[in-house]
Chains A and B, each alone.
Chain A
Amino acid sequence: DAGVTQSPTHLIKTRGQQVTLRCSPKSGHDTVSWYQQALGQGPQFIFQYYEEEERQRGNFPDRFSGHQFPNYSSELNVNALLLGDSALYLCASSFYLQGENTEAFFGQGTRLTVV
């Protein structure tokens, strides 16, 4: 049973560029959340997708956008990259049941470096 898979594992981009990160949730999960983990910090919530819609958003600018596909996989897009966007981006999946989400399972993350 595959867990949460993310691609790519590492990425180097230049300031001002755009990037797309991908996530496949754990089998049976229908909800995907994205987190940003800066060096020495805990993960910070970016947004969550369920039924192909953004359900909640953290304190991140509109440069951060996402998408969820009918097969529950998801993409995180970041436009106009800044040096401060360098971080580990984590995808977490869960299952929405009777008004609650089960606990989140995390992928290994994509390490984004902006130069």
Chain B
Amino acid sequence: AQSVSQHNHHVILSEAASLELGCNYSYGGTVNLFWYVQYPGQHLQLLLKYFSGDPLVKGIKGFEAEFIKSKFSFNLRKPSVQWSDTAEYFCAVRQGTYKYIFGTGTRLKVLA
């Protein structure tokens, strides 16, 4: 069965620190990959997505992610985090055209 692993469950950073959140998936076929963010009290919002093409994708709010097919990875990065980036981050793989398989999420806390 397909699965998505997020290695870091809780991350605490100071403002201006760099961020990298790991995501690995298990699926050998064509994948659509996503990072969603959930700010406190808000709904899941799409940060960025990868369908095909350039493996380095840029999303909203300065986030980017790199798809490395050989490593089955889709890590999320941001060069300099802000206090407002405090949220829970979910990596997801879309299986076929239907369901998303989510990782367990990473709670990021940014200290001002």
Give the interface of A toward B (CB within 8 A).
3-4, 33, 35, 40-45, 48, 55-56, 58, 90, 92, 96, 99-101, 103-109
Contact = CB atoms under 8 A, between A and B. Distances in A.
Contact of A106 (B44, B99, B101, B103): B44
A45 B101 contact: yes
Given A4-B43, A43-B44, 20 more contacts: A33-B99, A40-B104, A40-B105, A41-B104, A42-B102, A42-B103, A42-B104, A42-B105, A48-B98, A48-B99, A55-B98, A58-B99, A96-B97, A101-B94, A101-B98, A103-B46, A104-B100, A106-B44, A108-B43, A109-B43
B2 to A, nearest CB: 11
Contacts of B34: 103
11 contacts: A35-B102, A42-B92, A44-B102, A92-B100, A99-B97, A101-B98, A104-B46, A106-B43, A106-B44, A108-B42, A108-B43
B32 to A, nearest CB: 8
A48 B97 CA distance: 10
Task: Place the interface of chain B in its size category.
Answer: 20 to 34
B90 A105 contact: no
Contacts of B109: none
Nearest to B105: A42
Interface string B31-43: 0001010000011
A96 B56 CA distance: 26
* Chain A to chain B: the 8 pairs with minimum beta-carbon distance, closest first: A42-B102, A45-B99, A106-B44, A108-B43, A56-B98, A43-B102, A101-B97, A106-B43
